[in-house]
Amino acid sequence: MSSAPAALDYRAMSDWLRRFRRPLILTHQRSDGDAVGSVCAAALAMKKFDLDPRVVLFEPIGARYRFLQPLIEWHEWSAGSEAQTADTDCVVIVDTCASAQLEPALAFLRSPPPTLVIDHHVTRDPIGDRAGDLRIIDETAGAAALLIAEWIASAGIRADARMATAILTGLATDTGWFRFSNTNARLLRAAADMLAAGADANKLFNAIYEQENIERVRLTARLLSSLRLEMDGALAVMELRESDFAASGANASMTEDLVNEANRIATVRATALFIEQPGSRIRVNLRSKNAIDVAKIAREFGGGGHANAAGARVEGEWSDVVRRVIGEMSNALYSGQ
Ligand SMILES: [Mn+2]
């Protein structure tokens, strides 16, 4: 795995970690496969460093990733509880460097112990940038799990089947099962190493993508019936209102990947999905088929992400938010940015 950028100093990461005992490992809200896979593999690997890591998620682990549950001990963040951070001597933040995605822990993160950020997103808030902190950030990495895999290799830790499964989960899900433009030789090399170490790709595919419940399928049906095309078919717009969740029996945790449904349409170059949330909040998911930089648009609405996959949570009136986001997407498509 020698094709990682030279700037990624995995040896410094090992040296940094060796100074501590009790890392608190955090990842972003609405943790996806890369988030949970990366923190799981990181925790397993850190134990080989004689560390006693504690993984804390902001919500229960998603149903799709329940097979990771037995691999480590998972904790759930409880707001205002000092106990969960009391004996922590460092913080490791994985798969994000955006305050907006760490909201429940923001009070704690105002003056945290020494912090390590391991991330592959463009959005970069002032986290892990003090003296004594460390950042391992590489926007060219297709998944945070790739950085974990490369660190494990550089640290001379032998990935076992559990670590390999967790890492492959991150590599596979962040690349849409190795279909998106972030799939490259470097990432596939790491994936091959994980298969060699005992991860089972077919079992993983079945566990992640072939376990849907009827509620999510019914929600998908409602999503597709909301689909409309604008800009001569270049822009797909989809909406999920609270009534769609009620009618299908689905909940907010069942929306992962739904934004990609419109990609199958030949003319579609970008997609906007709007999801109604309690308290006049709207989750906006944006996708681009290498046509426009949707991270730039997401940032204008207080969010962030990657050029081809980004999102934001916007406060406001439904039709107004939809109109404004579509306006920005249309402008970008029109000017070819
Ligand atoms: Mn990721």
The number of CA neighbours under 13 Å toward the Cβ of 203 is: 11
Q: How far is the CA of 249 from the centre of ligand 1 (A)?
A: 28
Query: With contact defined as beta carbons under 8 Å apart, do 104 and 126 qualify?
Result: no
Q: How far is the CA of 162 from the centre of ligand 1 (A)?
A: 19
Average pLDDT over residues 290-298: 96
Q: Which uninterrupted H or E stretch holds 283?
A: strand 281-288
Domains contained in the chain, CATH given: 10-209 (3.90.1640.10), 214-335 (3.10.310.30)
pLDDT of residue 1: 42
- Write down the pTM of the prediction: 0.84
Q: How far is the CA of 33 from the centre of ligand 1 (A)?
A: 8
Q: How far is the CA of 320 from the centre of ligand 1 (A)?
A: 30
Nearest to 23 by CA among 78, 59, 72, 71: 72
Query: Read out DSSP for 139-150?
Result: TT-S-HHHHHHH
* Residue 214 tokens, joined: 């009827």
pLDDT category, 73, cuts 50, 70, 90? Answer: very high
Q: What is the pLDDT of residues 191-223, one digit of tens each?
A: 999 999 999 999 999 999 998 899 999 999 999
Q: How far is the CA of 57 from the centre of ligand 1 (A)?
A: 15
Cα 179 to Cα 235: distance, rounded to the nearest angstrom? 21
Q: How far is the CA of 337 from the centre of ligand 1 (A)?
A: 24
Q: How far is the CA of 34 from the centre of ligand 1 (A)?
A: 5
Cα 134 to Cα 141: distance, rounded to the nearest angstrom? 18
- Residue 115: which region, alpha, beta or left (left: phi > 0; alpha: psi -120 to 50)? beta
Q: What is the pLDDT of residues 225-276, one digit of tens each?
A: 999 999 999 999 999 999 999 999 999 989 988 999 999 999 999 999 999 9
The stretches of 73-160 forming alpha helices (DSSP H) are 83-86, 106-109, 144-154
Q: How far is the CA of 319 from the centre of ligand 1 (A)?
A: 30
Query: With contact defined as beta carbons under 8 Å apart, do 43 and 55 qualify?
Result: yes
Q: Which uninterrupted H or E stretch holds 11?
A: helix 10-18
Q: How far is the CA of 96 from the centre of ligand 1 (A)?
A: 8
Q: Count Cβ atoms below 10 Å from residue 35 Cβ, excluding itself.
A: 29
Residues 6+ apart with CB under 8 A from 126: none
Q: Which uninterrupted H or E stretch holds 16?
A: helix 10-18
Q: How far is the CA of 139 from the centre of ligand 1 (A)?
A: 10
Q: How far is the CA of 74 from the centre of ligand 1 (A)?
A: 19
Note residues around ion ligand 1 (Cβ under 5 angstroms). 34, 95, 144, 174
Nearest to 256 by CA among 26, 24, 28: 28
Q: How far is the CA of 171 from the centre of ligand 1 (A)?
A: 8
Q: How far is the CA of 304 from the centre of ligand 1 (A)?
A: 12
Q: Is the pLDDT of residue 4 over 90?
A: no
Q: How far is the CA of 243 from the centre of ligand 1 (A)?
A: 30
Query: With contact defined as beta carbons under 8 Å apart, do 52 and 75 qualify?
Result: no
Give, to the nearest 10 degrees, the angle between helix 10-18 and helix 144-154.
80
Average pLDDT over residues 275-293: 95
Phi/psi of residue 284, nearest 5 degrees: -115, 120
Return mean pLDDT, the chain: 95
Q: How far is the CA of 144 from the centre of ligand 1 (A)?
A: 5
Average pLDDT over residues 74-100: 92
Which one is predicted more confidently, 141 or 63? 141
Q: What is the pLDDT of residues 102-154, one digit of tens each?
A: 999 999 999 999 999 999 998 899 999 999 999 999 999 999 999 999 999 99
In 44-159, at which residue ranges do the beta strands (DSSP E only) sit?
54-57, 74-76, 90-94, 115-119, 134-137
* Residue 261 tokens, joined: 């449904």
pLDDT category, 278, cuts 50, 70, 90? Answer: confident
